[in-house]
């Protein structure tokens, strides 16, 4: 299935024509009263979920920070999370502060340069989702992550909906010029610590959604359409605490899909899960896909 412009118009109509703003606009659908949880690949429930994935023809996936921690990408609010260890980094994630504070921008570009030196790579969890696509089962992959690892692993860009933007590009606040982030990071490495747009001189940032910025309506709409059209929905490595991303599971459940949460801890929307797998994503997800395909 390809999400077309007409589908997005219908989606907008169902939302009253409203757009989305980062981390806002919460809404609910009918809740599931209880759900079973497996904590091991040896649990009989795990085999039942394998059967759901094996039978599925249209699987939609939502991923969060938990799928990328195995690649060395820190989460944000965990015990060793980026914002837990460095509260100033969270402040710099607000658009007003980023625009007003040159040092916040310099710190952001230093982090981008350091990350390039580290060269993060996809892990077995990302590769498992590539296998789902290779088998023709993947309808859509919505991600809250900005690390670009799904595309780096081999998932088709047209199936990946990067809800909060991506580190793979930089963008100008002024004219909107967008180009591969490596071009901008090269300038930082050469000594330009607060690079400006080469076209208009505007402030540059990595092409991620900062707090206070609007989300891309087309990207959100495509994720919601895919969630409503699937027969199995997998929420992987996300606390399901940030909207509108977390609304994908409620949309999928309301449309009749089997919904599975794969995470190390309980989430804020466990009540919408048909079943949960609780544990190490790098163990659970590859085994689930291997057995099902």
User: Worst-scoring range by mean pLDDT, 111-115, 246-250, 286-290?
Assistant: 111-115
Q: Is 91 among the domain residues? A: yes
Residues 112 and 147 both lie in one domain: no
pTM: 0.85
Residues 198 and 173 both lie in one domain: yes
CA dist 283 and 41 (Å) reads 8
The model's pLDDT over 222-255, given as tens digits with 9 standing for 90+, comes to: 999 999 999 999 999 999 999 999 999 999 999 9
Residues 230 and 111 both lie in one domain: no
Residues 187 and 275 both lie in one domain: no
Residues 35, 242, 61, 255, Cα dihedral to 10°: 60
Domain span holding position 133: 34-73+122-164+214-293
Residues 230 and 280 both lie in one domain: yes
Q: Is 18 among the domain residues? A: no
The reported pLDDT for the residue numbered 150 is: 98
Please report, rounded to a whole number, the percentage of residues in the chain having pLDDT higher than 90. Answer: 74
- Evaluate whether 254 touches 44 at the Cβ level (below 8 Å): no
The residue among 130 and 24 whose pLDDT is bigger is: 130
Residues 138 and 56 both lie in one domain: yes
* Structural domain count of the chain: 2
The model's pLDDT over 34-55, given as tens digits with 9 standing for 90+, comes to: 679 999 999 999 999 999 999 9
Other C-beta atoms lying within 10 Å of the C-beta of residue 262: 27
Residues 103 and 204 both lie in one domain: yes
Looking at the predicted structure, is the pLDDT value of residue 21 above 50?
Answer: no
pLDDT band at 120 (very low <50, low <70, confident <90, very high): confident
Residues 126 and 143 both lie in one domain: yes
Where in the sequence numbering do the catalytic residues fall? 164
């Amino acid at each position: 299935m390809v999400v077309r412009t007409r589908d997005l118009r219908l989606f907008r109509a169902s939302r009253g024509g409203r757009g989305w703003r980062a981390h806002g606009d919460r809404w609910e659908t009918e809740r599931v009263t209880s759900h079973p949880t497996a904590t091991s690949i040896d649990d009989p429930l795990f085999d039942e979920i394998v059967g759901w994935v094996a039978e599925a023809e249209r699987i939609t996936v939502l991923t969060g920070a938990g799928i990328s921690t195995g690649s060395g990408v820190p989460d944000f609010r965990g015990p060793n999370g980026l914002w837990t260890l460095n509260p100033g980094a969270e402040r710099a994630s607000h658009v007003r502060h980023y625009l007003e504070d040159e040092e916040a921008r310099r710190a952001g570009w230093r982090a981008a340069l350091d990350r390039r030196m580290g060269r993060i790579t996809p892990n077995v969890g990302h590769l498992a989702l590539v296998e789902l696509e290779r088998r023709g089962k993947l309808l859509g992959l919505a991600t809250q992550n900005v690390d670009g690892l799904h595309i780096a692993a081999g998932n088709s860009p047209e199936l990946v909906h990067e809800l909060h933007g991506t580190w793979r590009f930089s963008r100008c606040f002024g004219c909107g010029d967008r180009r591969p982030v490596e071009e901008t990071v090269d300038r930082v490495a050469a000594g330009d610590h607060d690079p400006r747009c080469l076209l208009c001189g505007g402030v540059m940032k990595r092409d991620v959604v900062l707090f206070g910025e609007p989300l891309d309506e087309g990207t959100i709409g495509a994720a919601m359409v895919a969630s409503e059209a699937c027969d199995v929905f997998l929420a992987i490595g996300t606390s399901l605490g940030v909207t509108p991303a977390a609304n994908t599971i409620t949309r999928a459940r309301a449309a009749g899909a089997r919904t599975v949460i794969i995470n190390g801890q309980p989430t804020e929307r466990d009540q919408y899960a048909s079943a949960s797998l609780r544990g190490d994503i790098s163990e659970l997800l590859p085994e689930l896909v291997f057995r099902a395909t």
